[in-house]
A and B are shown apart, each in its own frame.
Chain A
Amino acid sequence: MPNKNDVEVTLIGTGGGYGESVVLKIGWDKWVVIDSCINPETKEPLALEYLKQVNADLNKVVLIVCTHWHNDHIKGLSKLLSKCPNCEFHFSAVNDLDKFLLLCELDNGKTLKGSKSSTAEFAKCLQIINNRGSYFVKAQSNLKLLSIREKDVEFELYALSPSPKIVNDFDGEISQLITEFGERNTAIINKSPNDKSVALLLKFREERVLLGADLEIGKSEHEGWHHIIKHSLIKDGFKSNLYKLPHHGSENGYLKEIFDVLVNDNGTLKLTPFRSSGLPTEAMLRTYFNHAEDIYLTSSLTVSKKSKKRDKSIEKIIDRSVKSISEVKFTHGIVRSRIDFTKNKGTWTTEVFEAALKLSKHQFS
């Protein structure tokens, strides 16, 4: 259990693309969970496992944020939500929620059991909120999602994205998907939910924590990180000492201006690798090392090409039937940072657990 005076920012992530989740402790005893991923063996949300491990009171989870509805960020979210009776549910804004829910239901109905569908998981979350009578919030740029005052310290959590243009564009996309839906034989493929990701900024005292979700830089100043740098009202001259890198450290999540405007050089950088997609690349790690001495990863960068162990005769048939097959190995790690918020100029202490590790700049020079 963290000290009462600690603010905590914990990145829980897997290696093979099973996802990531961020747990925040704010003030004396309030908790916020951003996104969810599961252990594929136990099906348990990793954030829930972590909260139990640190003896957090689930009644004090005040907010759960769904940054976007990709499987690696949403799996297990409904289970987590059901265990936290007093939380609000915030998610990436859609103009017409009824229309989006219609799309979710259509997708769910067309996907066997709905089990592989992230839209089904999202619909389950809203069903819980509906049945419980608690609030939801559509998160988008320049909105204050949470405000808590403890003694003389104010904690504020802001959404930096999605931009108004992205929210409006998505409205059109939903209509088109519904129109096409009757004839389709596939699950919904929304090719770009990353641009709808909710990047978040936590403020208290002079501290800032930037949580990049999977937000990409965008194609114009009206999208993604370009929009934040150019148009966000939240920037106030203070830079973050802690930065959860967007989109697994991918090239399309990097913008030098983020470090010019929002993040201190030599701050603490954290990321969740997505090894099966080759993220992050060595080149991108080198780029990020231009801004920091260390980068914390939730798991190593090695990629296993091994296939699952099965009965030999089955393995033989498999080998004859595919060009290649490999198991997406599950490993998970925790990168936890804490700071005493009662001190005016505190220092973040970062620890790693399980498969998590710290990479240093000299390893890449």
Chain B
Amino acid sequence: MGESRTLNSNRKGSWVEENVLTKSNNGQEHLGIYEKVIQNYLGKVVDHNDETKNIGIIEDAPKLKLEFPKLEYSYDIYNSKKYYTRVQNWQGVVTSIKGGSFKAKLYDLSSGGTNEVAEFDLKEVSPSDKHLLQLGSLFYWSVGSYMENGQMINRSDIRFQRLITLDADDIENIKQSVENKYSRLKERKVDNYSAK
């Protein structure tokens, strides 16, 4: 049995993964573990690669005696995993690239509000993303701290957006949708200036 885990869908594009058990230490969260065990014994099969996804119910599930795991055991598993405590995410647009750095306009995805401008060292970009860095490139920047094996570790990640390559058919489809979408547009022709 593993711990309950969720991917935080509000932070689009983030590598952030939160363990729901980290948010407080009250007994209610521990009960969540037991409920999960009960669910499993009652016949729900859980995909252990993604425990938030229930992949089905076995009709003739065996009736087994419930054995609750020891709380200490759950904690051991939990403490050995990474989990994030504080995060901040942005979407960025590259506005200039000069020498060994690039500048970007940053849109705050965590709290919204005003924008920021930042200059990054090119070393901050991973080698696999370097070819994506160009004027106008979109990227996501996340900073945060996470716990690993009881150690608090700080992290900053820049990840450039990888976009699908459109082929001729895609473009033709979009062209068709444009024609449908704007079929009722009406242009008014206006007068050229004529001297009085």
A129 touches B185 (CB 8 A): yes
Flag the segment in B20-28, B49-57, B69-77, B154-162 that touches A.
B154-162
Considering the complex, give the chain B residue whose CB is closest to the CB of A187: B136
**Which residues of the partner chain A approach B88 to less than 8 Å between Cβ atoms?**
310, 314, 318
Report how many A-B pairs have Cβ atoms within 8 Å: 176
Contact B193 A137 (CB under 8 A): no
Nearest-CB residue, chain A, relative to B170: A182
Which of A144, A145, A325 touches B117 (beta carbons < 8 Å)? Answer: A325
Chain A residue at minimum C-beta to C-beta distance from B145: A313
* Complex interface: chain B residues within 8 A of A127 (CB): 181-182
Q: How large is the interface on B (under 10, 10 to 19, 20 to 34, 35 or more residues)?
A: 35 or more
A116 partner, pick from B107, B181, B183, beta carbons under 8 A: B107
Q: CB distance B91 to A112 under 8 Å?
A: yes
| Max chain A C-beta neighbours (<10 A), residue from B13, B114, B162, B185 | B185
Q: Is the CB of A316 within 8 A of B154?
A: yes
A112 near B193 with CB under 8 A, answer: no
Q: 1/0 per residue A31-58: CB within 8 Å of B?
A: 0000000001100000000000000000
Residues from 144 to 167 in A contacting B, C-beta threshold 8 Å: 144-145, 158
Q: Check: A344 CB closer than 8 A to any chain B CB.
A: no
Contacts of B113 in A (CB 8 A): 40-41
- Known contacts A102-B174, A317-B145: A308-B166 contact under CB 8 Å: no
Do A135 and B143 form a contact, CB below 8 Å, given A233-B195, A325-B116, A328-B114?
no
Interface: A326 (CB within 8 A): yes
Question: A112 contacts B13, CB within 8 Å?
Answer: yes
Given contacts A182-B166, A186-B137, contact A323 B119 (CB under 8 A): yes
The answer for the CA separation of A98 and B113 in the assembled complex, in Å, is 34
**Looking at chain A's contact residues, is the secondary structure mostly helix, strand, loop, or mixed?**
mixed
User: Could you say which interface size class chain A belongs to?
Assistant: 35 or more
Question: Nearest Cβ distance between residue A27 and chain B, in whole angstroms?
Answer: 19
Which residues of chain A come closer than 8 Å to B145, judged between CB atoms? 313-314, 317
Mark interface residues in B96-134 (1 if CB within 8 Å of A CB, else 0). Answer: 000001000011100011111111110010000000101
A133 and B138 form a contact (CB under 8 A): no
Contact B184 A133 (CB under 8 A): yes
- Shortest beta-carbon distance from A15 to chain B in Å: 11
CB A43 to nearest CB in B, in angstroms, measures 8
Q: Given known contacts A182-B167, A307-B116, A323-B101, is B136 in contact with A143 (CB within 8 Å)?
A: no
> Does B81 have its Cβ within 8 Å of any Cβ on chain A?
no
Q: Within 8 Å CB of B156, what residues of A?
A: 317-318, 320-321
B43 interface hit (Cβ, 8 Å): no
Name the contact of B185 in the complex, choosing from A97, A142, A327 (C-beta under 8 A).
Answer: A97
Are A317 and B143 interface neighbours, CB within 8 A? yes
As a 0/1 sequence over residues 296 to 326 of chain A, the CB contacts with chain B under 8 angstroms (1 = contact) are 0000000000011011011011101111111
A186 CB contact (under 8 Å) in B86, B136, B184: B136
Q: Which residue of B lies closest to A133 (CB)?
A: B184
Check: B190 CB closer than 8 A to any chain A CB: yes
Q: Does B165 contact A (CB under 8 A)?
A: yes
Which residues of B have CB within 8 Å of A276? 117
Are A130 and B119 in contact, with the CB atoms below 8 A? no
C-alpha gap A97/B181 in the complex (Å): 13
A158-B193 contact, Cβ under 8 Å, with A106-B171, A188-B136: yes
**Residue A136 lies at the interface, judged by CB distance under 8 Å to chain B:** yes
**Partner of B192 from A131, A142, A236 at Cβ < 8 Å:** A142
**Is B163 an interface position by the 8 A CB rule?**
yes
Q: Is B80 an interface residue (CB 8 A)?
A: no
Smallest CB gap from A323: residue in B: B119
20 A-B pairs (CB sep. < 8 Å): A16-B115, A40-B114, A98-B182, A102-B175, A105-B177, A112-B13, A112-B91, A115-B107, A131-B184, A135-B188, A143-B191, A182-B171, A308-B108, A314-B143, A317-B154, A320-B156, A323-B121, A325-B117, A327-B116, A330-B114
Interface residues of B (CB under 8 A from A): 12-13, 86-88, 91, 93-94, 101, 106-108, 112-121, 124, 132, 134-138, 143-145, 154-156, 160-168, 170-171, 174-175, 177-179, 181-193, 195
Interface residues of A (CB under 8 A from B): 16, 40-41, 88, 97-98, 101-102, 105-106, 109-112, 115-116, 126-127, 129-131, 133-138, 142-145, 158, 178, 181-189, 233-234, 236, 276, 307-308, 310-311, 313-314, 316-318, 320-330
